[in-house]
């Protein structure tokens, strides 16, 4: 694969596909971060920034990885350099259904951990 991709937001060039993804999702592109925050959502953001209607019962924790994808967890996850892992990292506690909708730019993934409010 060639290194000739250009960021469509800031026009910085010479990326391969992986480099462009990192440029966008790790928060290096200020133009992308501004757009992803400014894009209007089809419905108002909830107070905690999570649309819990997409998170199955029993998955009381949600977090967004560095790539901008959200996941539900049935135990409190731990953070590493690029995302969130299930509790002890040995059991698959991630929700495999729809991902939760986050109202955060991908550059804020480290601050994305949320817990469902107890009823």
Task: Walk along the chain (119 residues) and give the pLDDT tens digit of each residue.
Answer: 456 888 888 899 888 888 887 887 777 888 777 665 544 445 555 666 777 777 778 888 888 888 777 788 888 888 887 788 876 554 445 555 556 667 777 788 888 898 988 65
- DSSP-assigned letter for residue 94: B
**What's the number of CA atoms in the CB half-sphere (13 Å) around residue 53?**
4
Q: Hey, is 95 helix, strand or coil? A: coil
Q: Are 13 and 95 in contact (CB under 8 A)?
A: no
Please report the pLDDT score of residue 118 as a whole number.
61
Question: By three-state DSSP, how is residue 90 classified?
Answer: coil
Here the tokens at position 94 are: 């991630």
Q: What is the CA radius of gyration of the chain?
A: 16
pLDDT of 109 reads 84
13: left (phi over 0), alpha (psi -120 to 50) or beta: beta
């Amino acid at each position: 694969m060639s290194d000739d991709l250009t960021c469509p937001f800031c026009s910085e060039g010479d990326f391969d596909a992986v480099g462009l993804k990192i440029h966008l999702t790790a928060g290096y592109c200020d133009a992308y971060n501004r757009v992803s925050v400014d894009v209007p959502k089809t419905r108002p953001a909830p107070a905690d920034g999570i649309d819990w209607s997409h998170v199955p019962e029993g998955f009381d924790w949600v977090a967004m990885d560095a790539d901008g994808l959200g996941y539900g967890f049935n135990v409190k996850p731990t953070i590493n350099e690029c995302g969130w892992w299930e509790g002890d990292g040995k059991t698959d506690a991630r929700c495999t259904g729809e991902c939760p909708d986050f109202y955060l730019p991908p550059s804020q993934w480290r601050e994305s951990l949320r817990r469902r409010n107890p009823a």
